[in-house]
């Protein structure tokens, strides 16, 4: 039986320039999909013509759109990323390990969201408040020992009011004890790729072995927004009242900038004033992490400056939608001559504002692909670059299966391949 995809040793990989997303730039030379099933010699000839045309045109655009240096803010560390692509837009010591203070509660929330998603707990579960949770120092929701509080109320108390007591109560309900829950936090952190973080508690109260980085916090914020949109709205709630005590969200950007919809503040003597903020304008999301400023005002002003910088000088474009046919591949000895290729997820690119016409999309495909083909099987590589600098490289996958052809199809294609 034939392999799923075979490449004859004497054949080489062919490269084709393809349409770039739903809004193709006019300078781009595009090879129609029909050409992809032509004989390889003709394809190579057309490729070199295309390459010559593209090189001639792109010579005019030798420079990227200029981007100034990021604003100077009084922080020990910061990172600004695009919320869709994760592209780094600005940074200062983003991998320096620092005390995260109450930003820790983002990880606490993520672990609770996972437990909710997996059916281990429910929003309407009533949690009996332990003495340990009630006695927890720092910012509080003011739950009372022995009272029964719903998981949803505790989440709002932790997210909006930054309640340390709520954090401990959630941990005990989810994992039995706070220390066991901290182990779960670290396991999820490892899964997310937060390689420079270690959590000893759910609150961010000082501990010598409790630390994170701006980069890890950005990874975590992006994961919460993407994985749990049904809960993310709570990060934009401006105030929450429990036990007749109403407390405002400490994220002052929620009042200052209507595009800001999260996420979390933090402050201890060791950590200074910290803020993870997220905003969306015209379909572009930007996430800022600011650690170790001297005051609440400086963390707010610094975060606002970074967000404005990201939106002003960068843009995010959708190139291809999930499941959209990007190209088609000629499959020999299969039931159908061609198989559509695409991506399992939407593909975005983050670039300097105004430089989309300089983005190039290239498909690298083996000269010979032999069936059968399974749905989801990688068959080609898609490379996206800006002025020759590669931004993205990922496989294009078969959007549908293409089984073995009949005896006649296999025989006919075998003869054609022999003489080609």
Would you name the residues annotated as active-site residues? Answer: 102, 105, 162
DSSP strands (E only) in 177-257? 239-242, 245-248
Task: Evaluate whether 277 touches 80 at the Cβ level (below 8 Å).
Answer: no
Task: Evaluate whether 308 touches 330 at the Cβ level (below 8 Å).
Answer: no
HEC assignment per residue over 59-120: CCCCCCCCCCCCCCCCCCEEEEEECCCCCEEEEECCCCCECCHHHHHHHHHHHHHHHHHCCC
CA distance 126 to 241: 18
- If residue 58 lies in a helix (H) or strand (E), which one and from where to where? helix 40-58
CA distance 292 to 271: 6
CA distance 117 to 301: 35
Pick left, alpha or beta for residue 243 (phi over 0 → left; psi -120 to 50 → alpha; otherwise beta): left
CA distance 2 to 11: 18
CA distance 267 to 292: 9
CA distance 213 to 219: 10
Task: Evaluate whether 82 touches 314 at the Cβ level (below 8 Å).
Answer: yes
Residue 44, C-beta contacts closer than 8 angstroms, at least 6 positions apart: 14
Count CA within 13 A, CB hemisphere, residue 110.
27
CA distance 232 to 64: 35
DSSP 234: G
Count CA within 13 A, CB hemisphere, residue 70.
22
β-sheet bridge partners, residue 315? 351
**DSSP 3-state assignment of 170?**
helix
């Amino acid at each position: 039986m034939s392999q799923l995809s075979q490449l004859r040793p004497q054949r080489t990989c062919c490269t084709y320039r393809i349409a770039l997303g739903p809004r193709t730039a006019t300078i781009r030379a595009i090879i129609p999909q029909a050409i992809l099933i032509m004989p390889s010699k003709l394809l190579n000839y057309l490729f070199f013509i295309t390459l010559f045309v593209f090189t001639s045109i792109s010579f005019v655009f030798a420079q990227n759109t200029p981007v100034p240096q990021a604003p100077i803010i009084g922080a020990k560390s910061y990172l600004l990323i695009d919320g869709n692509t994760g592209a780094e837009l600005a940074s200062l010591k983003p991998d320096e390990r620092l005390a995260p203070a109450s930003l820790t509660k983002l990880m606490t929330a993520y672990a609770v969201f996972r437990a909710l998603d997996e059916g281990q707990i429910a929003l309407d579960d009533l949690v009996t408040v332990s003495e340990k949770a009630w006695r927890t120092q720092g910012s509080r929701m003011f739950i009372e020992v022995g009272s029964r509080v719903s998981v949803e109320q505790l989440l709002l108390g932790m997210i909006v009011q930054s309640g340390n007591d709520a954090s401990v109560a959630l941990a005990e309900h989810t994992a039995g004890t706070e220390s066991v829950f901290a182990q779960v936090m670290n396991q999820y952190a490892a899964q997310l790729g937060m390689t420079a973080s270690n959590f000893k508690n759910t609150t961010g109260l000082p501990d010598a072995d409790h630390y994170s980085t701006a980069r890890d916090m950005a990874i975590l914020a992006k994961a919460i927004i993407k994985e749990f949109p049904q809960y993310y709205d709570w990060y934009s709630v401006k105030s929450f009242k429990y036990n007749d005590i109403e407390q405002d969200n400490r994220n002052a950007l929620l009042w200052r900038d209507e595009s800001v919809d999260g996420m979390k503040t933090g402050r201890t003597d060791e950590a200074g004033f910290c803020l993870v903020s997220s905003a969306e304008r015209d379909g572009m999301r930007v996430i800022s992490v600011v650690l170790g400023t001297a005051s609440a005002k400086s963390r707010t002003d610094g975060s606002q400056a970074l967000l404005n910088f990201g939106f002003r000088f960068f843009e995010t474009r959708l190139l291809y939608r999930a499941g959209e046919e990007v190209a088609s591949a000629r499959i020999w000895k299969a039931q159908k001559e061609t198989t559509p290729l695409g991506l399992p997820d939407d593909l975005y690119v983050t670039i300097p504002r105004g430089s989309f016409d300089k983005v190039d999309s290239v498909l690298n495909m083996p000269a010979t692909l032999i069936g059968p083909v399974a749905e989801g099987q990688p068959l080609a590589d898609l490379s996206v670059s800006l002025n020759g600098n590669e931004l993205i490289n990922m496989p294009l996958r078969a959007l549908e299966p293409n089984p073995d052809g009949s005896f006649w199809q296999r025989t006919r294609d075998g003869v054609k391949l022999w003489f080609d």
